[in-house]
């Protein structure tokens, strides 16, 4: 069996231990020759890296592993780049979430002005990353999970349009499929989903079982009766449980399809705003929760020299998915995933150059997406407004345009009012000077 070489960009991420664990679990299906972790933050990464050494000594002794801050060492001779960077770290995530709230607007990592701010930061580093990777590994697959995935995908599609080995993908559809599997007591790997929309902005229209029966109506009924929760509810913080619970509300108002949880921010911006605590946002929850736990545990493992009592991994959906996606490409397995690709008629009545999220098979030659035909007016309107926001955000970045940025935020359903948009934008510019291009 051919062995593959992988680099994890953002080695110091709180998600890395889970990903490493998935790589260990799947070493017989997807064996690795070399694994490198790469990060610009040496200190953060070394904590995870030292944990990894012990993990691999126990579970993957044959693996050639190291971690580095050097690009050439990181990218030379790799087949897959797993990219999960966070420009500005949780410090900036906290600002993304809190600043909009000062003006009465949703504060969220990928939606609304928070996502705008994060997007403007991610674009520069992601372009640089692709250039760096291509310098040393021109044929490597770049599997990108960096957020906000919609904005990143739009920007990368503009700059590297002919590079067919960049795949932007998000784990939320898989998280949802696992949750449907749980309530139906079925294996989510057996589902054949039909999905359309934009990243963090889409709907499952059908979910077929092996015999071709559509399970969407069944799921809707169960959610109506019992509500909705994530598959790994016991490991989730309060805000995520509330987020999943909102699927019931969304189905009440828009009963056609199963919505991606992120739609709650766009459909109920005022209601959700009132429920959010401007003093303690998701960033705080993560900093005090996952981040603290992961780093404490990794340090402890390094000290004790064994992973025996380690609890660094909480949710394996994310890591498993990243590994399975690579495996599907590596061995041309043509498994089904919801991925982000250029529209070109997949959603019939949406412009061709949109980066849309749909189901695709994933094989050695990349995604082969399934079209969904035309979508109804409500969904078309929702998507086009959000798409315009995304496109204008990328325009604002590439043109250094304040006016485009203002238009983008005004079109975002979490903002709407242009005076508010201007205030939020000005406040975000202040704190993002080191990261954004100057907006004139
Ligand atoms: C889901 C989304 C990701 C997002 C993550 C946030 O998995 O698909 O795009 O980054 O949630 O999780 P967090 O626990 O950091 O709020
Ligand atoms: Mn996502």
Query: Which ligand is closest to the CA of 261, given by its number?
Result: 1
* Ligand 1 contact, 286 CB (< 6 A): yes
Please give the Cα distance from 330 to 30 (Å, whole number). Answer: 8
Please give the Cα distance from 186 to 235 (Å, whole number). Answer: 20
Q: What is the DSSP letter of 68?
A: E
Token pair 């325009």 in the structure block, residue: 395
Which of 143, 272, 148, 248 lies closest to 198 in space, CA to CA?
148
**How much is the pLDDT for 313?**
66
* Residue 118 half-sphere exposure toward CB, CA atoms < 13 A: 31
- The Å distance, Cα 146 to ligand 2 centre, comes to 8
Which of 67, 63, 59, 60 lies closest to 10 in space, CA to CA?
67
| Residue nearest atom 11 of ligand 1, based on CA coordinates | 172
Using alpha carbons, list the distances in angstroms from residue 304 to 44, 47, 50, 307: 19, 13, 11, 8
93 appears as a binding residue in the annotation: yes
Give me 387's structure tokens.
């798409």
Please give the Cα distance from 208 to 194 (Å, whole number). Answer: 8
Please give the Cα distance from 347 to 356 (Å, whole number). Answer: 8
Annotated catalytic residue, options 60, 180, 257, 262: 262
Contact by Cβ (8 Å): 92, 121: yes
Using alpha carbons, list the distances in angstroms from residue 98 to 102, 108, 281, 420, 429: 7, 8, 7, 15, 14
170 appears as a binding residue in the annotation: yes
* Ligand 1 contact, 282 CB (< 6 A): yes
Contact by Cβ (8 Å): 92, 118: yes
- Is 171 an active-site residue? yes
Please give the Cα distance from 143 to 123 (Å, whole number). Answer: 15
Please give the Cα distance from 24 to 60 (Å, whole number). Answer: 6
Single pTM value for the model: 0.98
| Ion ligand 2 residues within 5 Å by Cβ | 170, 172
Atom of ligand 1 nearest to the CA of 148: 9
Please give the Cα distance from 314 to 414 (Å, whole number). Answer: 31
| Residue nearest atom 13 of ligand 1, based on CA coordinates | 286
66, containing H or E segment: strand 64-68
- Is 262 an active-site residue? yes
Please give the Cα distance from 234 to 227 (Å, whole number). Answer: 16
What pairing do the DSSP bridges indicate for beta strands 258-259 and 201-208? antiparallel
Query: Which ligand is closest to the CA of 339, given by its number?
Result: 2
Give me 262's structure tokens.
């992120």
- The Å distance, Cα 1 to ligand 1 centre, comes to 33
Please give the Cα distance from 389 to 116 (Å, whole number). Answer: 9
Give the start-to-end residue ranges of the domains of the chain: 4-169+282-329
Which of 281, 277, 224 lies closest to 247 in space, CA to CA?
224
DSSP-derived 3-state class of residue 8: strand
Atom of ligand 1 nearest to the CA of 200: 8
- The Å distance, Cα 208 to ligand 2 centre, comes to 23
Question: How many CB atoms sit inside 10 A of residue 277's CB?
Answer: 12
- The Å distance, Cα 339 to ligand 1 centre, comes to 16
Atom of ligand 1 nearest to the CA of 318: 7
pLDDT of the chain, 440 residues: tens digit per residue? 899 999 999 999 999 999 999 999 999 999 999 999 999 999 999 999 999 999 999 999 999 999 999 999 999 999 999 999 999 999 999 999 999 999 999 999 999 999 999 999 999 999 999 999 999 999 999 999 999 999 999 999 999 999 999 999 999 999 999 999 999 999 999 999 999 999 999 999 999 999 999 999 999 999 999 999 999 999 899 999 999 999 999 999 999 999 999 999 999 999 999 999 999 999 999 999 999 999 999 999 999 999 998 887 666 889 999 999 999 999 999 999 999 999 999 999 999 999 999 999 999 999 999 999 999 999 999 999 999 999 999 999 999 999 999 999 999 999 999 999 999 999 999 999 999 999 99
- The Å distance, Cα 15 to ligand 1 centre, comes to 10
DSSP-derived 3-state class of residue 301: helix
Task: Please name the fold of domain 4-169+282-329.
Answer: Rossmann fold (3.40.50)
Scored b (16 or more CB within 10 A) or e, 110-136 reads bbbbbbbbbbbbbbebbbebbebbbeb
* Ligand 1 contact, 199 CB (< 6 A): no
Q: Which residues contact 56 (CB under 8 A, 6 or more apart)?
A: 20, 24, 35, 63, 65
284 appears as a binding residue in the annotation: no
338, containing H or E segment: strand 335-342
* Ligand 1 contact, 283 CB (< 6 A): no
Atom of ligand 1 nearest to the CA of 170: 8
* Ligand 1 contact, 321 CB (< 6 A): no
Give me 295's structure tokens.
């780093």
User: What are the helix (H) ranges across 108-201?
Assistant: 112-136, 149-159, 172-184
Please give the Cα distance from 317 to 22 (Å, whole number). Answer: 9
**How much is the pLDDT for 301?**
96
Please give the Cα distance from 332 to 183 (Å, whole number). Answer: 31
Annotated catalytic residue, options 39, 79, 96, 171: 171
* Ligand 1 contact, 122 CB (< 6 A): no
- The gap between the terminal CA atoms of the chain, to the nearest Å, is 54
Radius of gyration of the chain (CA): 21
**How much is the pLDDT for 314?**
61
Give me 146's structure tokens.
């960096």
To test the pocket of ligand 1, the residue of 13, 14, 110 to mutate (highest count of ligand atoms within 8 Å of its CB) is: 110
Please give the Cα distance from 178 to 48 (Å, whole number). Answer: 27
* Residue 69 half-sphere exposure toward CB, CA atoms < 13 A: 8
Atom of ligand 1 nearest to the CA of 171: 8
Scored b (16 or more CB within 10 A) or e, 165-180 reads bbbbbbbbbbbbbbbb
């Amino acid at each position: 069996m051919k062995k593959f070489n992988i680099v994890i960009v953002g080695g110091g991420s709180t998600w890395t231990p889970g990903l490493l664990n998935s790589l260990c679990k799947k070493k017989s299906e997807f064996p690795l020759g070399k694994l490198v972790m790469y990060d610009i933050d040496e200190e953060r990464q070394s904590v995870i890296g030292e944990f990894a050494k012990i993990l691999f000594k126990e579970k993957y002794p044959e693996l050639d592993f190291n971690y580095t801050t050097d690009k050439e060492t990181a990218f030379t001779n790799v087949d897959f780049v797993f990219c999960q960077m966070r420009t500005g770290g949780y410090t900036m995530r906290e600002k993304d979430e809190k600043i909009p709230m000062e003006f009465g607007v949703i504060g969220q990592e990928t939606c609304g002005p928070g996502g705008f701010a994060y997007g403007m930061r991610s674009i520069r580093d992601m372009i640089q990353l692709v250039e760096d990777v291509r310098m040393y590994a021109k044929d490597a697959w770049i599997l990108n999970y960096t957020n906000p995935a919609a904005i990143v995908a739009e920007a990368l599609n503009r700059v590297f349009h002919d590079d067919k080995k960049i795949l932007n993908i998000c784990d939320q559809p898989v998280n949802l499929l696992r949750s449907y599997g749980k309530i139906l007591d079925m294996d989510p790997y057996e589902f054949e989903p039909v999905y359309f929309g934009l990243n963090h902005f889409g709907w499952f229209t059908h979910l077929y079982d092996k015999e071709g029966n559509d399970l969407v109506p069944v799921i809707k009924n169960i959610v109506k009766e019992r509500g909705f929760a994530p598959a790994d509810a016991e490991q989730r913080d309060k805000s995520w449980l509330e987020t999943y619970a909102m699927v019931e509300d969304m189905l009440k108002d828009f009963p056609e399809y199963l919505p991606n949880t992120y739609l709650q921010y766009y459909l109920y911006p005022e209601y959700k705003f009132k429920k959010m605590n401007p003093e303690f946002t998701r960033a705080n929850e993560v900093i005090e929760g996952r981040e603290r736990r992961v780093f404490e545990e990794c340090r402890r493992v390094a000290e004790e020299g064994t992973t025996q009592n380690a609890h660094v991994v909480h949710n394996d959906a994310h890591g498993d998915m990243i590994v399975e996606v690579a495996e599907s490409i590596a061995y041309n397995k043509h498994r089904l995933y919801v991925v982000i690709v250029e529209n070109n008629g997949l959603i019939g009545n949406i412009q061709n150059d949109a980066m849309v999220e749909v189901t695709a098979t994933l094989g050695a030659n990349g995604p082969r997406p399934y079209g969904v035909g035309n979508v109804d007016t409500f969904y078309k309107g929702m998507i086009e407004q959000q798409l315009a926001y995304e496109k204008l955000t990328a325009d604002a970045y590439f043109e250094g345009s304040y006016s485009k940025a203002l238009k983008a935020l005004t079109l975002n359903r979490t903002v709407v009012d242009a005076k508010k948009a201007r205030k939020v934008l000005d406040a975000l510019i202040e704190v993002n000077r080191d990261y954004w291009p100057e907006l004139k």
